[in-house]
Every structure is written in C-alpha cells, then in structure tokens.
C-alpha cells in the first residue's frame, strides 16, 4: 500500500481520496450533488416525454398521409386538388438526441406542407424570432449543463484552499512530503469527478432505463461527442475556479468573484451579444412580417382574381367551358399562385438574409462566452441546431421541385389522376445529413473550449507557485 | 540535524531574519526566545520551505530545504501553536492520513493506536471526532504524527501557549521522550520556564538576529529571565 504511493501521481491520488472523504462529510456538497442529479434526471425524463410526443404526432400524420384519398381504386381526383390542396407533408423525425436539447425545436416546424405551388411559407410559422433569444429559456439537459453546471462547479470550488489555509490545516499538510500543486491537483480531481460523472452518466443512464430503444447503434457516436463537449465545457469552468482560487483571496471573496464570472459569461455576455446582433442586423417584428406577407399575398390574389373573375364572366356556366377552358382557368390560377409564391418568397428571402447575417455574427461573437460556444456544439450534436432544420428545409425544397415536376403538367392540363398515378408520385423520406458534416462543424468550437481550458489550468497551477500560506 | 547557515530573509526594506546560524544536533532541544516580530516564526517557515530565504541556507539532515523540499519534509515534523486537523475525522483518522501522506512505515491501526496511547490518548478518545478535542489533545496528535512518521527533526512554534500548566508539563515530558530518541528539536516559545526546563540550549532573537545562545545547564531560572529582559530593554 505504502509502496504504491511513493510516486508523484500516487501522492496526488492519495490526497484525492482524502479530499473525497472530507467532501463527502460536507452537507453543502451533498446538497449540490443532489440538486444536480435531480435536475439531470428530471430534464432527461421531460426531454424523452417531449420527443415521444413529437414522434407520436408525426406517426399520426404519417398514417393519415399514407391513407389513399380515393374512395374506390377506380375513382379519379382533380390534379389540382391532390397536388395543392392535399399536398404532401414533409416530416422531420425527432433528432438523434432531441431529448437532451430542445434547441431550435420550438422555433422551427418539424413538418412542412409541400404543394406544387410552393413550400408552406416560412412567415406563416412562428420561426421568425431570433433563435438565440428563444433558446435560453428551456428546461432541458442542455440548459442544466450550460447554465446550472458552472454555478455548481463554483459552489464546490470557491473554497479550494482558502479555508484550509486560514484554519491552518494546509500548513500541517504541506509540512509533509507533498507539494502545494499535488494538494491542489488532488482537490481538483475530486471536484471534477464529483460533478462530471453525474453530468455524463445520468442523462444516458436515464434514457436507457426509460426506453431501451435509445441504445440503437447510431447514437453512440453522438453520445461520445456530447460527452467530449461536456468535458471540454466543464474544464473551462473548473479552470476559471482554479485561477481565481490561486490568487489567494479569502473564500467569500472567491465566491463573489466566481459568481460575477458566472453572471458575465452565462447571462450578461450572451445577452450583450444578442443585443449587439439585434442592433447591428435588426430583424423586423413577426407581426410586421405577417402583415407584409398578407399584403403580398393579397395583392397577388387580387390581381389574379381579377383575371379569373374576367374568365368566369366570360364563361358564366361550367357547361360551355370545355376542356380547353378548364386548362385556361388552371393556367390563370397557376399564374396567380406563382405570383403569390414569388411575393412571399421575396419577403422570406429578406428575413432569411437578415437571419444569416445574425447567425454569422453570432458565431463569431460566441467566442466571448464559453456558454455560447458550448451551446452551439451541444445543439449540433443533439441534432436540434439551426443546421438540421435548414438541412430539412433544403431537402423539403428539393422534394417540392420533384412534386411540382410531377404534378404541374397535370394541373395545367386540368387533368384528373388515378390512384395508381398518386401512388407513383414522389414522396418525402428525410435522410439525415452525413455525420461528418456535423463533426467538421463542431471540431473548431471544441478545440477552442479545450484550448481555453488548458490555458486556464496552466495559469492556475502556475499562479499557485506564488500562493501565500 | 537542524542547521541554519547565515540565514536571511527580508520583506522589502525590513530584515526579518538577519544572518542566523546554528546547528541543532540529534537529541538537542533548542529553544528560540524573542519578542513578537523577532523573526522566530519566519525562521521556522524557512525550514518548512513555506518562505524562501533571501540568502543563506536552511538544512534538515544536511539537505538544503529549498533544493530538496520533499526529501527534507520526510525527515521533519511540525507542530504549530494550533495543531489544526480535520475536525470531521477522528484523531486516529487524522493520524492515519498524515502518516500515510508522510509515507511512513507505520501503517496499521493497531500501531497508530499504540502511538496515540504513548502520547496519552486512549483508544476511545482516538476514535472521537477531532472537532471535540481540546487544544492539548490536538497537540498530542501532533506529537503522535512526529513519532509515527519517525521524524528526525521537529519544529515547534509556540506549542504550549494557551495550554494549562498540567497539559504544558505533559507536553514537555513528551518532548523529553522525543529528544531521548535522538530527535533534533527547534522550539520557538515565549515560555522562559519551559525553555529552561525542556531546552538543552536557548537562543534569543531580536530584530531578526540571534543575539545570544546559552546552555541551559549553566543557567538558573532567574538568570535566563534577567538575560532575556536585558536584551529586550537594549
């Protein structure tokens, strides 16, 4: 036993084990761990229930969509009714780790109605709201990790050595053959493990305990990436705590400084960035967007309806319209729809452009706060970041072109379609974006967090060389 | 062996320790007297490598403590005015922690309890939380650490201040036992009586300098007091 502890590392581990005993006896530490555990398990369970609801809703839509709209196999339906009124719902299944982070899930719709005329216009949804401002108020595992975890790290770390120094125990310890760095390393190991183990294990353990199907193969890699991101993020906060403790202030002063840092990086920083983005690239309000969209639609509709009205005046009864007349009517209708779609698209394009600028600026400014960097990574790994929704929209858009190519000639021909033709029409099955794209995106942010963490740990241990006993 | 070789420490323009030299041999009890701020604690802190000397060397067992901080701490033990242990752990658990940290050969609870018994703590007391201990009991655990660790040098910084006469006497007897085992002891104290009783030599420090070194055998109690006061009035 004694021989095992001869080395430098052996002494550190021995000190860590001792620290673990001392901390275990501390009521505040026990409370912190309990709060963290409850928050992690609770948020995972809520997330799983939410993902399950989403899955059920989509399955329901899927079933309804799968039922053929024809009364009998021989009946026929108007092409316009099938292609535009019925359309096709392009659905986005819940993301691989959606139960861990709501992310943009409450901002972007997880289904889009595709018609031969257009995608369902963006402006009719709730999505024109700045994603950063929306993403901060949800109780999910990502929230617990990003906001609560750093606070709890500080709660167990504000008195790393100050209390023992002031009571005199540290002098007793350092009169033994150990260095202050070994003592600090032992203390840090316990504090990191105390919170990191539950932070990584509990959400995954809860998901497997609650629903074994979560063990499906594809998620392991994402779980690993999620864990790496959590480790990198936590290391930054532990590093900050180390640096503050190394300055040799008293424990209450450390607590105050650390609380200030938490406020700065978790609350003030992201809010300031949001404000800056909103000032630099102001987004028109949603109400204004809806008004613009309605005006655009109305204008195009009025113009189209005038032409259609003229047509109907010229052909007061359907009897004398004939197939040619019907085609002409379909063409006029298609022209009107196209105008509406074009106008909507221009409103939407303005918003998208502004949103792109905001996101670009946000990604640059996020380096100012570890919370913002980690948020981007966690959402991307969970599959609830803007990227996945944009990819879904992109895929839906591709599908819309196929749908339109299939139905438009039939609509313009005022044709009716058979059930077989309907079955042969293209359908939408969402295929996930290649994981390597996501991995490439998160590589730099994770490297950045790791770099910050290493720098802080190095600075902290270096500063401890000058610690006054 | 505890050696000071032209040991100096200055804080800015203040010379806290000024060219102090001595050599404390195994079994010797060297009592360091002096007013508050004379430099006694600073000197002890240099031997513990808590403070780096401005010049000169502090040596334990012939090794410079700055060059060999870990090796020298294997040989020394330290008992401050307040032996601050972990209050939530028992006396035995504290002793076990410090002994293992010192990488001492003593490891079993039976051995540790025997050492605690030697210093006057019963097995029952040894298993009580240190938070409930009196100062005298904590000082005894400090001595127990020294014994268990097998230290050859002991540094004490006013260990008897605040102890009642009986506890103070018990403590002195333990020091005599340690000195009999060949431990070199350096004790900073204000207690002239204790210094005369337990010490083999007495050093008087003033403004960072060792102004006088006396052999206790050749001194009466009143002699020491007079010499000490004379230095303080100068």
Q: What is the pLDDT of residues A67-120, one digit of tens each?
A: 877 777 778 888 888 888 888 889 998 888 888 998 887 777 788 888 887 665
Instruction: Calculate how close chain A gets to B230, using CA atoms only, in Å.
Output: 34
Alpha carbon distance B196, B209 (integer Å): 21
Rg, Å, chain A Cα set = 30
Name B209's bridge partners. Answer: B206
The residues spanned by each domain of chain B are 2-210+220-225
Q: Does residue A4 or residue B58 have the better pLDDT?
A: B58
How would you class B182 by CB atoms within 10 Å of its CB: exposed for 0-12, middle for 13-18, buried for 19 or more?
exposed
Alpha carbon distance B34, A277 (integer Å): 67
Q: How far is CA B68 from CA A8, A43, B20, B62, in A?
A: 14, 52, 20, 10
Least confident of A113-127, A251-265, A305-319, A364-378: A113-127
For residues A196-224, average pLDDT: 82
Q: What is the pLDDT of residues A153-169, one digit of tens each?
A: 999 999 999 999 999 99
Return all residues near A224 (Cβ < 8 A) that are at least 6 apart: none
Question: Taking 90 as the threshold, does the pLDDT of residue A192 lie above it?
Answer: yes
Chain B residues whose C-beta sits inside 8 Å of any chain A C-beta: 45, 48, 50, 69-71, 73-74, 76-78, 80, 82-86, 88-89, 97-98, 100-105, 107, 155
Instruction: Indicate yes or no: CB of A169 within 8 angstroms of CB of B85.
Output: yes
Q: Output the pLDDT for position A316.
A: 67
Q: Output the pLDDT for position A215.
A: 61
Instruction: Indicate yes or no: CB of B101 within 8 angstroms of CB of A179.
Output: no
Instruction: Calculate how close chain A gets to B224, using CA atoms only, in Å.
Output: 32
Q: What pTM, to 2 d.p., does this model score?
A: 0.86
Angle at alpha carbon of residue A146, lines to A381 and A144, rounded to 5°: 100
Comparing C-alpha atoms, which of A86, A465, A459, A58 is closest to residue A236? A459
Alpha carbon distance B136, B172 (integer Å): 12
And the tokens for A443?
A: 């590589």
What does pLDDT average to over chain A? 85
For residues A381-387, average pLDDT: 90
- Substitution target from B41, B84, B131 for chain A, most A beta carbons within 10 A: B84
Comparing C-alpha atoms, which of A445, A428, A437 is closest to residue A114? A428
Do the Cβ atoms of B214 and B182 come closer than 8 Å? no
Question: Taking 80 as the threshold, does the pLDDT of residue A312 lie above it?
Answer: no
Topology of the domain comprising B2-210+220-225: Rossmann fold (3.40.50)
Q: Looking at beta carbons, which residues of chain A come within 8 Å of B71?
A: 177
Instruction: Indicate yes or no: CB of B102 within 8 angstroms of CB of A176.
Output: yes
Q: Output the pLDDT for position A284.
A: 63
Do the Cβ atoms of A277 and A362 come closer than 8 Å? yes
With cut-offs at 50, 70 and 90, classify the pLDDT of residue A137.
low
- Substitution target from B83, B100, B139 for chain A, most A beta carbons within 10 A: B100
The residues spanned by each domain of chain A are 3-466
Alpha carbon distance A399, A388 (integer Å): 16
And the tokens for A462?
A: 């270096």
Instruction: Indicate yes or no: CB of B89 within 8 angstroms of CB of A22.
Output: yes
Neighbour-count burial for B98-135, b at 16+ CB within 10 Å, e otherwise: bbbbbbbebeeeeebbebbeebbbeeebbeebbeebeb
Q: How far is CA A129 from the centre of its chain?
A: 15
Alpha carbon distance B216, B200 (integer Å): 6
Q: Output the pLDDT for position A318.
A: 57
Q: Does residue A242 or residue B163 have the better pLDDT?
A: A242
Say whether the ipTM exceeds 0.85: yes
Q: Output the pLDDT for position A66.
A: 78
Q: Output the pLDDT for position B202.
A: 94
What's the DSSP call for residue A267?
I
Q: Output the pLDDT for position B50.
A: 93
Q: Output the pLDDT for position A287.
A: 67
Question: Taking 60 as the threshold, does the pLDDT of residue A125 lie above it?
Answer: no
pLDDT tens string, chain B, 234 residues long: the values are 999 999 999 999 999 999 999 999 999 999 999 999 899 999 999 999 999 999 999 999 999 999 999 999 999 999 999 899 999 899 999 999 999 999 988 879 999 999 999 999 999 999 999 999 999 899 999 999 999 999 999 999 999 888 888 888 888 888 999 999 999 999 999 988 888 888 999 999 999 999 989 998 888 777 888 888 888 876
Q: Output the pLDDT for position A136.
A: 46
Q: Output the pLDDT for position B160.
A: 86
Do the Cβ atoms of A44 and A53 come closer than 8 Å? no
Question: Taking 50 as the threshold, does the pLDDT of residue A127 lie above it?
Answer: no
Q: Output the pLDDT for position A124.
A: 44
Q: How far is CA A402 from the centre of its chain?
A: 29
């Amino acid at each position: 036993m004694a021989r095992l502890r001869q080395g430098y590392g052996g002494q550190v581990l021995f000190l860590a084990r001792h620290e673990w005993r001392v901390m275990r006896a501390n009521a505040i530490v026990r409370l912190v761990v309990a709060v963290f555990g409850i928050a992690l398990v609770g948020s995972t369970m809520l997330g799983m229930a939410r993902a399950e609801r989403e899955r059920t809703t989509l399955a329901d839509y899927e079933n309804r969509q799968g039922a053929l709209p024809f009364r009998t196999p021989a009946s026929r339906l108007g092409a316009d009714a099938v292609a535009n009124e019925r359309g096709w719902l392009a659905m986005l299944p819940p993301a691989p780790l959606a139960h861990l982070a709501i992310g943009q899930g409450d901002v972007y719709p997880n289904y889009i109605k595709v018609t031969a005329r257009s995608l369902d216009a963006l402006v009719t949804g709730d999505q024109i709201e700045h994603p950063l401002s929306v993403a901060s108020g949800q109780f999910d595992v990502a929230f617990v990790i990003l906001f609560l975890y750093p606070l709890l790290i500080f709660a167990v770390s504000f008195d790393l050595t100050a209390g023992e120094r002031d009571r005199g125990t540290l002098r007793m310890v350092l009169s033994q053959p150990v260095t202050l760095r070994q003592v600090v390393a032992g203390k840090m190991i316990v504090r990191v493990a105390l919170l990191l183990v539950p932070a990584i294990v509990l959400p995954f353990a809860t998901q497997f305990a609650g629903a074994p199907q979560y063990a499906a193969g594809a998620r392991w890699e994402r779980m690993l990436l999620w864990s790496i991101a959590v480790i990198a993020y936590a290391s930054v906060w532990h590093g900050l705590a180390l640096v503050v403790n190394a300055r040799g202030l008293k424990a209450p002063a450390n607590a105050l400084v650390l609380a200030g840092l938490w406020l700065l990086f978790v609350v003030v920083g992201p809010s300031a960035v949001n404000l800056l983005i909103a000032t630099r690239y102001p987004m028109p309000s949603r109400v204004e967007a809806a008004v613009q969209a309605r005006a655009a639609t109305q204008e195009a509709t009025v113009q189209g309806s005038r032409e259609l009205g003229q047509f109907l005046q010229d052909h007061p009864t359907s009897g004398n319209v004939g197939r040619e007349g019907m085609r002409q009517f379909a063409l006029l209708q298609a022209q009107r729809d196209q105008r509406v779609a074009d106008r909507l698209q221009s409103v939407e394009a303005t918003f998208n452009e502004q949103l792109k600028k905001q996101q670009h600026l946000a990604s640059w400014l996020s380096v100012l706060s570890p919370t913002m960097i980690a948020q981007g990574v966690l959402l991307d790994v969970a599959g609830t970041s803007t990227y996945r929704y944009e990819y879904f929209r992109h895929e839906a858009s591709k599908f819309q072109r196929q749908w339109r190519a299939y139905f438009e000639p039939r609509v313009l021909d005022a044709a009716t379609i058979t059930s077989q033709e309907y079955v042969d029409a293209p359908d939408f099955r969402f295929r996930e974006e290649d994981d390597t794209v996501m991995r490439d995106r998160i590589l730099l942010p994770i490297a950045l967090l790791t770099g910050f963490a290493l720098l802080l740990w190095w600075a902290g241990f270096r500063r401890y060389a000058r610690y006054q006993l | 062996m505890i050696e000071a070789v032209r040991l100096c420490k200055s804080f800015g323009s203040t010379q806290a320790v000024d060219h102090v030299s001595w050599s404390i041999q195994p079994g010797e009890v060297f009592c360091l007297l002096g007013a508050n701020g004379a430099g006694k604690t600073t000197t002890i802190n240099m031997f513990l490598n808590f403070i780096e000397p401005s010049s000169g060397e502090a040596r334990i067992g012939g090794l410079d403590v700055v060059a060999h901080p870990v090796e020298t701490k294997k040989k020394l033990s330290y008992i401050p005015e307040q032996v601050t242990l972990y209050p939530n752990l028992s006396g035995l658990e504290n002793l076990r922690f410090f002994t293992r940290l010192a990488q001492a050969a003593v490891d079993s609870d039976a051995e540790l309890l025997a050492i605690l018994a030697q210093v006057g703590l019963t097995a029952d007391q040894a298993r009580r939380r240190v938070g409930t201990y009196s100062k005298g009991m904590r000082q005894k655990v400090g001595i127990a650490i020294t014994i268990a660790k097998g230290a050859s040098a002991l540094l004490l910084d006013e260990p008897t201040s605040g102890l009642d006469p009986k506890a103070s006497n018990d403590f002195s007897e333990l020091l005599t036992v340690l000195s009999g085992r060949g431990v070199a002891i350096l004790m900073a104290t204000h207690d002239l009586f204790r210094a005369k009783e337990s010490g083999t030599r007495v050093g008087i420090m003033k403004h960072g300098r060792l102004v006088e070194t006396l052999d206790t055998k050749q001194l009466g109690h009143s002699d020491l007091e007079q010499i000490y006061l004379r230095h303080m009035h100068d």
